[in-house]
Structure 1
Amino acid sequence: MLDINLLRRDFDAVVARLETRHKPQFVQELAAFPAYEGERKQLQTRTEELQARRNSLSKAIGMAKGKGEDASSLMAEVAGIADELKASADRLDVLQAQMNALLMQLPNLPQAGVPVGADEAANVEVRRWGTPRAFSFAPKDHADLGEPLGLDFDTGAKLSGSRFTFLRGPVARLHRALAAFMLDVQTQEHGYTECYTPYIVNREVLEGTGQLPKFKEDMFWVLRGGDEESVEQYLISTSEISLTNSVREQVLKESELPVKLTAHSPCFRSEAGSAGRDTRGLIRQHQFDKVEMVQIVHPEQSEAALQEMVGHAETILQRLGLPYRVVQLCSGDMGFTAAKTYDLEVWLPAQNTFREISSCSNCEAFQARRMQTRFKTAQGKNELVHTLNGSGLAVGRTLVAVLENYQQEDGSIQVPEALRPYLGGTEVLKA
């Protein structure tokens, strides 16, 4: 959530920064704020005037009674003031709710220095690692390679519909090995604490990390319980949600920062608006697995933490020998909660292009303000933390990259050396 005091101090600057996101609806929504704020100021001024008048009248009533004079008219005026004060307080409550609802619809402001642009065409490549393999044969895509190894789209569709997949045998083992490898690197080498989180969360949790109220259509959700006592709950679209909210409504000690958490979990996304995109294979699924990284940090350390997290994701790709590039997203391509984002894109030979496999974002205080998560400074002051999240990595897309980059002409798959201990020393996967 944006800082309401920033809007009050420099409304025009906030509008200018929102405009760089190239989504006019955000600026249109924000246009209601000055009217709300103007009425709030008027009510606050009037409330102060009424309170001062009530205090003055109370003294006058006391003096009148002390002299034995009739104070009924003064008392009637005090009663009228009380009614007006209550009406003002009720209206202020309504205004606060309206302003809060408005702020919940607005995205984070891009950091200074973020490339300005409307879409991915304005993203900026930062660096590349590795050289795409030169094949002596026409490389197959992961769907064709995976089917003999147990990648079963038909059974997934029979069980749950389109964009669900059933894994069995060698490809299921490879999927599990990738997740275990990622967790081991993030916990044993990079200092993250491994977590196991609920996959179903309450509405306020999603409001804390910014998925709600704006993006309900992207979520899978259920009503639990009877009609009269039903509870609205959601399947997580990433364990960022549960990991970040694990510190909601807390005041942390400064010495506890940074908090570094990781988890392997399934992720559930409706993929609203993606009809016709990546309909073949594992790239865009309703259910997929991801190893997530989350950091809760001191505000002065969040930029360094972002660079560190990008490096943690890169380590996985480098250990697996997968060529990739790092791209900084432009203002119009960043997620709702992000102030600055880097994507890692892995090389997929069958598509002859790079595809996203990790996204690492600094959300600054945006999520912390929604979650009311603070830390106590050495001076005893409570300040908002900064939150960061990133994929370390998306397991299904890493599986895709391993199948395509390590394929052999006979359809078998060489196992990257880093994964062999997780597969009992297996060097080649065959049907």
Structure 2
Amino acid sequence: MSSADPIYCPALFLTAPASNQGKTTITAALARYFSQQGKVVRVFKTGPDYLDPQILAQASGQPVEQLDMWMAGEEYCQNTLYEAAQCSDLILVEGAMGMFDGEPSSADLAARFGIPLVIVMDVKGMAQTAAAIAHGLATYRDDVLIAGLIANCCGSERHAELIRDALPESLPLLSSLKRDEEIRLPERHLGLVQANEVKSELEECFNKASQWLQNSQDTGLLEWPNAIAFYPTERKPETVEPLLANKVIAIAKDAAFSFIYDTNVLALTSLGARCVFFSPLNDTHLPAADALWLPGGYPELHAQALSENHSILSEIRAFHQRNKPILAECGGLLYSLDSLTDLDGQTFPLLGILEGQGAMRGKRGCQGMQTACLPQGEVRAHAHHRSLSENTPEPIGYGRRQRHPAPGEPIFQNKGLTASYLHLYFPSNLEAIGKVFSTVEGREC
């Protein structure tokens, strides 16, 4: 811990025994409730996630960043929290999966920075057992501070009473929330629906969710949390060499391509680049640029429109033929292939700058943390997709899985193209990212 003077700011970390307990809904409801009180609420999401942060940003009215000590590093997370504490009235962190899942887990992150944990649990179909599970989570490790339990999907006041009475005094029932389908967040096959697709619907949902919290028989959740100390790191930030000075990077951004970390864009600008955006769905011409970034998203939902935008396809192919740098991640990889078969079994021709065919696989897929082992350097990354690519060229290498010896996602390079299912976290290796987006003469698979 740094010896520098800390900044004090109230904070809570929402966790759960498993996924699908209601963490995102309740985090969004809390953010909206305290924002309505005139408070500046900064929300963070643990782990790699593109969709939850969009939802939480709309609920709070503030930008939402990812916190992950494996992807970004401990010092990066520490400074990010410290900077947020300087301009916030409240910090909320939403965990991923279960409280102790992953390396590092939500519990690891909360323990490292001293943030009190609130356990969110869907209590449908149990009563005293919910108290037993919560007590087990609270006492499993002695280096975490547990603020209390949120009993989500309570059937009645009697249901809440049974849970409340079974909890030890050290583990209060902060809120008992009744089941309410009207505040359920919309979902699709990779998680929540993108916020910009259902903005007005979400606004109504957030306001109802704020009232939902206020209707609880237990009001501890709405009491103002205690302030905790956030410290800066002692090491001075390293000077970033402007490897992309005077370079323009065109980033695909629309309903088909939207899995873009704001921190990745900031990383490119820190390297000296100027970032511009374009839409492969709607634009007829590429902006003038030195490099392209085709991020992940939902190209399978827009495959016909992408296939029929012949002018933009032609210009990207010509850009590739000129050996210009292109980074294609996950959905961008699928867009780069010869064709894509969507969830309805229809096949559409696409860019064809990487040999092969893509196809959706319904509920089957791949996810997890990996290191992208690029010739330019190693970059922390993650995979999350429900598709496959076939008849592709021999990869130049594979991702290295975080906890498994089997090869990870294949990585392809062809001329200036670097393509993979992996979503890269640029701040983990700025030098390597600078080289990926720099002109590379004669690069082939």
Common fold by TM > 0.5: no
Which one has the largest radius of gyration? 1
Structure with greater strand share of residues:
2
More contact order relative to length (CA 8 Å, sep ≥ 6): 1
TM-score under structure 2 length normalisation = 0.23
TM-score under structure 1 length normalisation = 0.24
